[in-house]
Amino acid sequence: MKRLLIALLLLFTLPALGAKVETGDPDLDRAFEALLGSDFAAKQAALQQLVANERPERFQWVEGILDGRLRVLKKEKRVVWVEKDGRQFKATDALTAQVLGEFKKRKLKKFRINNSLRRTIRSILAARDLDSPDPRARRKAVEAILENPSPDQIALLQPRIEKETDPAVLDAMQLVMALAKLQSPDEPERLKAIKGVSGSLEPAVRQALVRLAENDPSPSVQKSAATALRKIEDRVRVMGQIETLFFGLSLGSVLVLAAIGLAITFGVMGVINMAHGELIMLGAYTTYLIQQLMPGLPGVSLLLSIPAAFLVSGSVGIAIERGIIRFLYGRPLETLLATFGVSLILQQLVRTVISPQNVPVSNPEFMSGQLFINSALSLTYNRLYIILFCMLVFVGLFLVLKRTRLGLEVRAVAQNRGMARAMGVRAARVDALTFGLGSGIAGVAGVALSQLTNVGPNLGQQYIVDSFMVVVFGGVGNLWGTLVGGLGLGIANKFMEPWAGAVMAKILILVFVILFIQKRPRGLFPQKGRAAED
Amino acid sequence: MKSIVPVRRLALAVSAAAALVVSGAVQAADTIKVGILHSLSGTMAISETTLKDTMLMLIEEQNKKGGLLGKKLEPVVVDPASNWPLFAEKARELIQKDKVAAIFGCWTSVSRKSVLPVVEELKTPLFYPVQYEGEESSKYVFYTGAAPNQQAIPAVDYLMDQGVKRWVLAGTDYVYPRTTNKILEAYLKAKGVKDGDIMINYTPFGHSDWQSIVADIKKFGSAGKKTAVVSTINGDANVPFYKELGNQGISAEDIPVVAFSVGEEELSGIDTKPLVGHLAAWNYFMSVDADVNDEFIEAWHKFIKKEDRVTNDPMEAHYIGFNMWVKAVEKAGTTDPEKVVDAMVGVTAPNLSGGYSAMMPNHHITKPVLIGEIQDDGQFEIVYSTPGLVVGDAWSDFLPGSKDLIADWRKPLSCGNYNVKTGKCSGQNY
């Protein structure tokens, strides 16, 4: 029997033989080896074993397992910290801090974890952070408990609540305590706890109140829970409306960005440029290429991409204008076909030169995450920046058209070509520059889109129809029309989406624009005066 | 179209064409032709080009081993350009002009449905390597990708084991997600999930503005029950979806997303850090620990001459399908389609996870089902695999219209949709 047991034990430890670890401490070795194995239940146990260890580095190790910086050197059997250095990894022994040199990725073994291990690690770290000197870390730790409160974690809070000095952390802690008391067997205690949580927008509070309002044995508790719940739901609804408005504004500003270059080439010059989408795509690819040139600096490279994309798309635009469009002025059908051909050529060019696959464009740190307003309302940073960026581009373009010599000439040529030429404006040059300006703005839009969506050869096609829709809806030849039209369509789309679904909302918007154009062929803000007569 | 081609020139053209056909036939005498029908241009080129290369590699390897029945294999590659009707035309061209013995191809279900009448009419086997919605079994089509019970249902079972109680079924608006979600909805309800705990959402192709949908999912998931998203979102629309999840602070630990169309190839174009922990269900992952897989990856890297190329599930499906066809041809001793099709049922071939897959009478194959979590290097960590192989089910047991149907192409039944209740074969071939 005993021998059988030993054999069985051997069998269970066998998988660990695949990857050996030698740290000098057999307990640690066992824990790390189990963590390298493929049995997730054993990994959970090993994790607890690792934390039960008295070493001060243990939390760092756990954190390293979470973010993949802690690995094992297969041949040397050592647990190491790794730091990526080009294609190699710099390894430092995790126990002795001895620098071991550079290694290929293949030589290192990662601690593979799954979602439940990740959750365990996060709760281990949250328990540690309760004693962190940084109030923000403490608050995060309390919030982690709030999301998923368990009795032993609440027991952890109890002694700390008296010592807490930071008001925000204290609030969060009291909320957790009140939440725990909602389940107290004592009725007045429960009523008091309902008062304590009222007004909080935390989902955990709402769930607890729903339970009380439905199932509590005492009618008075039920009633007060229902009242508190109603108050919270009202606030949540308001927040929901604000959120939808924000979504609409951000979708609208994407539409405006995509369309505003077209508002110049199509709106002011009257050229139907089917390659507009591809000029956006070129801007997005410029962002990609600049990021490739400056690895590790996504923020700087993104800022640099803005002027670079403007120049790239702008010069391609000028080349298209000089090479093709200028021979076709006044022949809209031929322009349409020619520029459609250009758009196909540009797409295939990108497919052959770069790759038919999408390329990765990374988001800089400041573009990810969200601005926390309250538990029911957070605004994502990337969308906030896009809205801001859209406004900046709009104002910039507006100033160029209204305040500069070029803008004056552009407007003059658009209004009356013959007269402008008689006054000494070189109309041909103005045409090229105007087209370049519109194309350059399309490139800048591409930089913004690269942060939101896939960068691939088909990127432009997705936006060409939307862009024309916005320009036509807003009124050809009017920048304000494009702004109001784009934002309006974006907001309408987002308010319709919850009840109509994404597919239907898009169709409804398109139908609406078509009907609108039937009624008012010149869009929201028609051009007035002689310029309007074609 | 006013000018009429002079009769003489027409006659010349016809005889030239005839000569071509004859020369084709002569060539066919010393080689066996294999048709490869994958889009090399247009939107599907992203995924299908790889499969064309896989087939070329498999054929090259077979030729190195001495070919088949003493003859060399000759690949015939055509480009249907992501254009569904063109798939049918190109299939016809492959069979009638090039006289191929079998076709390996198609990706989307539409393209398969478009080729289907052609292979039925001209009686040539088609090997289809992609996971699909099921509800089909044709005498001349061999489905080497997963049927819903080989991908979607085990994935849902796994999540149920993990304690998931609330379900978001999110998909792109076309036939595969609609059918799969219908099956899943029926399955979840059969398991006791209530209507209020299922949310179904469809989006257009290439959808990029996920803000409201992700916000809805977040709200749906904050009801205190563990929530998961089952995603049949197609292709690259997944990237902005995952990005939005990350930006709105939803991690895989809060609301995991299990996807059926996201594999190594799709992940190779993106930064996978925000995706870590989200799941995918396939029958093969590049990270599968098996000698045969290591050999396959090595051969692939050597063939494609690029060390960083990944392998994926549809590639494995072609690997299995091609080897099955080779065995069936050897078993039948001829490439005559009719005999090969009969010989196919019961043939086994190695799969890349170290076991063997068999062709079943319903023309679907047996496969292991694997669930993987996305890692930050674009690979999958396998967190679950079915204890044994799962037999592909042509007709779902969870749809009212198809639960009494079975497919069995062995004689004497020879029927793709036999109703076990009425005892009738509906008569249509697929």
One domain for residues A111 and A141:
no
Which of B46, B219, B133, B132 has the alpha carbon at shortest distance from A375? B219
The answer for A 295-354 residues in CB contact with B (under 8 A) is 351
Query: What pLDDT was estimated at residue A528?
Result: 67
Q: Which residue has the higher pLDDT, A85 or B356?
A: B356
One domain for residues A102 and A250:
no
List, in order, residues 6 or more apart from B173 with CB less than 8 Å away: A503, B202, B203, B204, B205
One domain for residues A190 and A248:
no
Q: What is the pLDDT of residues B216-243, one digit of tens each?
A: 999 898 887 899 999 998 877 887 888 8
Instruction: Provide the 3-class DSSP secondary structure of residue B283.
Output: coil
What's the domain count of chain A? 3
* Strand B257-259 versus strand B348-350 pairing type: unpaired
Which of B154, B150, B106, B143 has the alpha carbon at shortest distance from B364? B143
- CB proximity A277 to B under 8 Å: no
Question: Is residue A311 included in any domain, yes or no?
Answer: yes
Who among A112, A251, A359 is closest to B209 (CB)? Answer: A251
Min Cα distance A202 → chain B (Å) is 9
Contact B363, B409 (CB under 8 A): yes
Contact A55, A90 (CB under 8 A): no
Rg of chain B on CA atoms, in Å:
23
| Chain Cα centroid distance, residue B187 | 22
Burial of B56 (0-12, 13-18, 19+ CB in 10 A): middle
Who among A115, A203, A497 is closest to B256 (CB)? Answer: A115
Which chain B residues contact residue A247 at CB under 8 A? 211-212, 215
Q: Per-residue pLDDT for chain A (534 aa), expressed as one digit of tens each?
A: 455 444 444 444 444 345 678 877 888 888 888 888 878 888 888 888 888 887 888 888 888 888 888 888 888 888 889 887 777 888 888 888 888 888 877 788 888 888 888 888 888 888 788 888 888 888 888 887 777 667 777 777 777 888 888 888 888 888 888 888 887 778 888 888 888 787 788 887 888 888 888 887 888 888 888 888 888 889 989 999 999 999 999 999 999 999 999 988 887 788 889 999 999 999 999 999 999 998 888 889 999 999 999 999 999 999 999 999 989 888 889 999 999 999 999 998 998 888 777 788 888 888 888 888 887 888 999 899 999 999 999 999 999 999 999 999 988 888 888 888 899 889 889 999 999 999 999 999 999 999 888 888 888 888 998 899 999 899 877 889 999 999 999 999 999 988 888 889 989 999 999 999 999 888 888 776 555 554
Widest pairwise Cα distance in chain B: 81
Cα–Cα distance, B244 to B44 (Å, whole number): 24
Q: Would the CB atoms of B270 and A360 count as touching at under 8 Å?
A: yes
Which chain B residues contact residue A115 at CB under 8 A? 162, 252-253, 256, 277, 373
One domain for residues A174 and A108:
no
Residue A493 belongs to what domain range? Answer: 240-532
Question: Is residue A245 included in any domain, yes or no?
Answer: yes
Instruction: Provide the 3-class DSSP secondary structure of residue B82.
Output: coil
Q: Would the CB atoms of A40 and B383 count as touching at under 8 Å?
A: yes
What are the residue ranges of helices labelled H in B65-209?
A: 84-92, 109-122, 152-161, 175-190
- CB proximity A115 to B under 8 Å: yes
Contact A335, A470 (CB under 8 A): no
At B82, list the tokens. 């992501």
CATH of residue A275's domain is 1.10.3470
One domain for residues A316 and A401:
yes
Query: What pLDDT was estimated at residue B320?
Result: 97
- CB proximity A18 to B under 8 Å: no
Query: What pLDDT was estimated at residue A49?
Result: 85
One domain for residues A437 and A493:
yes
Phi-psi label, residue B269: left if phi above 0, alpha if psi -120 to 50, beta otherwise: alpha
Min Cα distance B270 → chain A (Å) is 5
At B52, list the tokens. 């064309």
Q: Would the CB atoms of B271 and A362 count as touching at under 8 Å?
A: yes
Question: Does residue B412 have a cis peptide bond before it, meaning omega lies within 30 degrees of 0?
Answer: yes
The answer for A 480-509 residues in CB contact with B (under 8 A) is 494, 497-498, 501-503, 506
Min Cα distance B152 → chain A (Å) is 20
Cα–Cα distance, B199 to B216 (Å, whole number): 10
Domain end, chosen from A116, A151, A185, is at: A116
Render A301-347 in DSSP notation, one character per residue.
HHHHHHHHHHHHHHHHHHHHHHHTGGGGTT-HHHHHHHHHHHHHHHH
Q: Would the CB atoms of A243 and B208 count as touching at under 8 Å?
A: no
One domain for residues A264 and A358:
yes
- Lowest-confidence pick of A266-275, B52-61, B93-102, B365-374: A266-275
Domain end, chosen from A70, A86, A116, is at: A116
One domain for residues A398 and A522:
yes
Cα–Cα distance, A254 to A399 (Å, whole number): 20
Question: Is residue A179 included in any domain, yes or no?
Answer: yes
Q: Express the helix, strand and coil content of chain A in percent, nearest 5 each.
A: 70, 5, 20
Render B171-226 in DSSP notation, one character per residue.
EESSHHHHHHHHHHHHHHHHTT--GGGEEEEEE-TT----HHHHHHHHHHHTSSS-
Q: Which residue has the higher pLDDT, B339 or A222?
A: B339
With tokens 């719940």, the residue in question is: A229
Cα–Cα distance, B430 to B416 (Å, whole number): 6
Which chain B residues contact residue A373 at CB under 8 A? none
Question: Is residue A233 included in any domain, yes or no?
Answer: no
Contact B418, B323 (CB under 8 A): no
Cα–Cα distance, A366 to A387 (Å, whole number): 15
Residues forming a β-bridge with B257? B229
Query: What pLDDT was estimated at residue A533?
Result: 52
How far apart are the two ends of chain A, measured CA to CA in Å? 100
Min Cα distance B212 → chain A (Å) is 7
At A45, list the tokens. 């146990």
Q: Which residue has the higher pLDDT, B97 or B207?
A: B97
Query: What pLDDT was estimated at residue A316?
Result: 96
At A528, list the tokens. 């007035």
Instruction: Provide the 3-class DSSP secondary structure of residue B319.
Output: helix
Give the other-Cβ count within 10 Å of A390's Cβ. Answer: 25
Residue ranges of E strands in B19-64 = 31-37
Q: Would the CB atoms of A356 and B49 count as touching at under 8 Å?
A: yes
Contact A383, A254 (CB under 8 A): no
Domain with CATH 3.40.50.2300 in chain B: 24-147+298-368, 149-288+371-391
Who among A68, A204, A502 is closest to B213 (CB)? Answer: A502
Residue B281, pLDDT > 90, answer yes
ipTM of the complex: 0.79
* CA-angle at B395, arms to B393 and B400, nearest 5°: 135
At B213, list the tokens. 């949908």
At B25, list the tokens. 């036939």
Instruction: Provide the 3-class DSSP secondary structure of residue B9.
Output: helix
List, in order, residues 6 or more apart from A197 with CB less than 8 Å away: A175, A178, A179, A182, A205, A208, A209, A228
Cα–Cα distance, B215 to A497 (Å, whole number): 12
Q: What is the pLDDT of residues B5-27, one digit of tens each?
A: 444 554 444 444 444 444 444 44
At B397, list the tokens. 């047991």
One domain for residues A202 and A290:
no
Interface probe with B: pick from A82, A109, A503, most Cβ of B within 10 Å: A503
Q: Would the CB atoms of B247 and A494 count as touching at under 8 Å?
A: no
Q: Would the CB atoms of A118 and B223 count as touching at under 8 Å?
A: no
Compute the residue count for chain B.
Answer: 430
Cα–Cα distance, B427 to B430 (Å, whole number): 9
Which of A219, A150, A221, A217 has the alpha carbon at shortest distance from A179? A150
Cα–Cα distance, B200 to B205 (Å, whole number): 16
Question: Is residue A277 included in any domain, yes or no?
Answer: yes
With tokens 């396939």, the residue in question is: B282
Amino acid (1-letter code) at residue B94: L
Compute the residue count for chain A.
Answer: 534
Q: Would the CB atoms of A456 and B43 count as touching at under 8 Å?
A: no
Contact B367, B282 (CB under 8 A): no
Query: What pLDDT was estimated at residue A16?
Result: 39
Query: What pLDDT was estimated at residue B378?
Result: 86
Helix axes B238-247, B211-221, angle to 10 degrees: 60
One domain for residues A107 and A142:
no
Instruction: Provide the 3-class DSSP secondary structure of residue A292.
Output: helix
Mean pLDDT over residues B75-90, rounded?
93
Q: Which CATH architecture has domain B24-147+298-368?
A: 3-Layer(aba) Sandwich (3.40)
Separation in Å, CA B271 to CA A115, A216, B23: 19, 48, 51
Cα–Cα distance, A505 to A512 (Å, whole number): 10
Please tell me which residue of chain B has the smallest CA distance to A356.
B46
Question: Is residue A398 included in any domain, yes or no?
Answer: yes
Residue B74, pLDDT > 60, answer yes
Which of A188, A260, A246 has the alpha carbon at shortest distance from A486? A260
Separation in Å, CA B102 to CA B57, B105, B327: 16, 10, 13
Q: Phi/psi at A188 (nearest 5 deg)? A: -60, -35
Q: Would the CB atoms of A247 and B211 count as touching at under 8 Å?
A: yes
Q: Would the CB atoms of B236 and A456 count as touching at under 8 Å?
A: yes
Min Cα distance B223 → chain A (Å) is 6
Cα–Cα distance, B54 to A98 (Å, whole number): 46
Which chain B residues contact residue A506 at CB under 8 A? 204
One domain for residues A490 and A354:
yes
Which of B304, B226, B303, B221 has the alpha carbon at shortest distance from B268? B304
One domain for residues A450 and A418:
yes
Contact A335, A266 (CB under 8 A): no
Contact B363, B394 (CB under 8 A): yes
Who among A38, A452, A498 is closest to B208 (CB)? Answer: A452
Dihedral of alpha carbons A185, A186, A189, A190, sign: positive
Query: What pLDDT was estimated at residue A13?
Result: 42
8-state DSSP, A295? T
The answer for A 428-467 residues in CB contact with B (under 8 A) is 452-454, 456, 458, 462
Residues forming a β-bridge with A4? none
Question: Is residue A53 included in any domain, yes or no?
Answer: yes
Question: Is residue A271 included in any domain, yes or no?
Answer: yes
Quick one: fold of B149-288+371-391?
Rossmann fold (3.40.50)
Residue B44, pLDDT > 70, answer yes
Q: Would the CB atoms of A502 and B215 count as touching at under 8 Å?
A: no
Residues forming a β-bridge with B359? B365
